[in-house]
Amino acid sequence: MIGIVDYGMGNLFSVSKALERLDVEFFISDDPAELEKAEGIILPGVGSFRDAMILLERKELDVFLKKHVANGRYLLGICLGMQLLFEESEENGPAKGLSLIPGKVTRFSGIDSKNNAYKVPHMGWNKLTFNHSSPLLKGLEEDYVYFVHSYFVVTNETEFVTASAKYDVDVPAIVTKENVFGMQFHPEKSSAIGMSLLKNYLSLVKGR
């Protein structure tokens, strides 16, 4: 069973529709006691890092998510949900995150190394480059996925960066640390590869 965390800033409709297409049982909740019934959790998110953390903390969902991971269960963060897995963000900040993976969230500068301006947010299709093996990548080849974000993760712990995309800088696109996963892009909007990534996550949860 998959639990989708509803803390007021998630793209619940598109994620739930993707799970319906994959014919998986799921529920949406903001109640930690109810979410404890889920073997796998999806943490979606759109908007401000600081606001998201305030909302998570208000209902003690931050405590629940850390406990869920500590108990060996699976967690997948999508878009802002992925960024929340890290230690802090400079967005309306600094603001502390869940600290499940080391790293900081920072804004695209909008100016490249040759002093030319580029568009922020990073929006549209961009190609993944696979860096390390991960159960999320099982049976997949590098392909294009759909991004919408103005902030990205910077981490010195590159072993956790499963896949990246180039947007002036190398953008961590998929992260993996044991039972914690993140996707900076929207898998539910990323055609066949996005659905396959979600299916691989669901297979992990099912096989636990």
DSSP lists the bridge partners of residue 95 as: 89
DSSP per position, 45-102: --S-HHHHHHHHHHTTHHHHHHHHHHTT-EEEEETHHHHTTSSEE-TTS-EE---SS-
Q: Which residue numbers are catalytic?
A: 79, 186, 188
Distance CA 208, CA 189 (A): 27
DSSP count for the chain of H helices, then E strands = 6, 14
CA 181 → CA 33, 94, 111, 120, distances in Å?
22, 23, 30, 25
As a whole number of Å, the end-to-end CA separation of the chain is: 11
- Three-class secondary structure of residue 70 per DSSP: helix
181: which 2 tokens? 């996963």
